[in-house]
Amino acid sequence: MKNKKITIQEAAELVRDGSRLTFAGFTIWRKPFAVAYELIRQQRRNLHLIEVGGGSISDCLIGAGCVSVYESCWVGHELYGKYGANLSRKVKNREILMEDYSHGEMMFRFAAAAAGVPFAVSQSSLGTDIHNPEYDMLGRAGLRDGVKNPRSKYQFMDDPFYNGGKYVLLPAAKADVAVLSVQQVGEEGTVRIEGQCYCDPTVARAADITIAIAEEIVPESYLRQDSHVNTIPSFEVDYIVECPWNAHPSGMFGRYDVDGDFLRNFFQQTRSQEGFDAFAREWIYGLDHDSYLDKLGVTRLQRLRANTVLKYSTSRGKGK
């Protein structure tokens, strides 16, 4: 049996300069921040970040200058920050290329990739500026090579079977590396996600290399006793990392809540590049995951810890 277990540092090293990277999870839930921080420490550059949906983790990597192309549908911090200030700043300053699709479209694009087909078909977003050919940013930059970037952003066609009208064809989303943040993984790679699975199983299947960052590595035999509640089969996961609290400041069903104060501060502090740099000096550079957790402190983490029956923290609250 291949030993799939690696460290957070090694996981980040699998992402190269220029890699097409994707994160699973959802906005501020189960996002593998421990890996994003390590990518920033390792000063990864020119990433093409392609996600079903973004969130705080995307804005953090973008703020650090790791990302040259961002292809997705949304960046914000939900209740804790109304938009992604780092993405917003870099779009305005033309320091990043942003390619917009809708959330449904991105999901269907990854589902096409996961099914091994070149495109998905949908009627979502017809008539909107998402389909405006002037706004094909990869095309405008001459980056549509037909290899990793599709030859066109969209194609349109009429339903050839049922006379259903106009449809949009969406290119499959190609990712070199997918990083997932999950509750449990077995030594052979079987993943068990509790709560909403978001886009994780699709993204894991679609990417060339899939890395599962887990709160705990558990005996594979334990997961195989109840395979009907598992989420991702062993062979779709290439590498596994055990890293408790790896999603902080995002939350994880059954384990810990979103650290709202942390995200609110991130949004406020990183609206300027100087602010982001100060944030990175305080929370990223010169630290590793253990010293990051030490800096957060036991009291703060205990407050975020989920009630084992309810699956969420009983002490969350605005401004607490």
Cis, bond preceding 249 (omega within 30 deg of 0) = yes
Q: Which of residues 175-204 bind another protein (CB under 8 A)?
A: 195-202
Quote the distance between the C-alpha of residue 201 and its chain's center: 13
Please identify, using beta-carbon distances, which residue of 119 and 135 lies nearer to another protein: 135
Which one of 33-41, 43-51, 60-68, 310-318 is the stretch in contact with another protein (CB under 8 A)? 310-318
Q: How many other CB atoms are there within 10 angstroms of residue 244's CB atom? A: 16
Q: Which long-range contacts (CB under 8 A, 24 or more apart) does 142-151 make?
A: 143/69, 143/97, 148/20, 148/48, 148/174
Between strands 177-186 and 191-192, the pairing is: antiparallel
Q: Give the one residue of 126, 141, 157, 278 binding another protein; rule: CB under 8 A.
A: 126
Task: Report d(CA 264, CA 82) in Å as an integer.
Answer: 10
Task: Report d(CA 249, CA 34) in Å as an integer.
Answer: 10
Q: Give the one residue of 46, 82, 118, 141 binding another protein; rule: CB under 8 A.
A: 82
Closest CA to 71 of 12, 11, 141: 141
Binding mask 14-43 for another protein (x = CB under 8 A): -----------xxxxxx-------------
Does residue 60 touch another protein according to CB under 8 A? no
Does residue 100 touch another protein according to CB under 8 A? yes
- Identify the DSSP state of 218: E
Between the alpha carbon of residue 98 and those of residues 37, 73, 78, the distances in Å are 22, 9, 20
Q: Which of residues 254-283 bind another protein (CB under 8 A)?
A: 254, 257-258, 260
Does residue 226 touch another protein according to CB under 8 A? no
User: What tokens were used for 279?
Assistant: 């944030």
Which one of 66-74, 178-186, 218-226, 291-299 is the stretch in contact with another protein (CB under 8 A)? 66-74
Closest approach of Cβ 278 to another protein, in Å? Answer: 22
Q: Give the one residue of 129, 142, 160, 228 binding another protein; rule: CB under 8 A.
A: 129
Q: Give the one residue of 19, 22, 56, 102 binding another protein; rule: CB under 8 A.
A: 102
User: What tokens were used for 59?
Assistant: 């804005």
Please identify, using beta-carbon distances, which residue of 20 and 30 lies nearer to another protein: 30
Which one of 129-137, 142-150, 209-217, 271-279 is the stretch in contact with another protein (CB under 8 A)? 129-137
Q: Give the one residue of 20, 44, 131, 248 binding another protein; rule: CB under 8 A.
A: 131
Identify whether the C-beta of residue 32 lies closer than 8 Å to the C-beta of residue 179: yes
Closest approach of Cβ 217 to another protein, in Å? Answer: 22
Does residue 57 touch another protein according to CB under 8 A? no
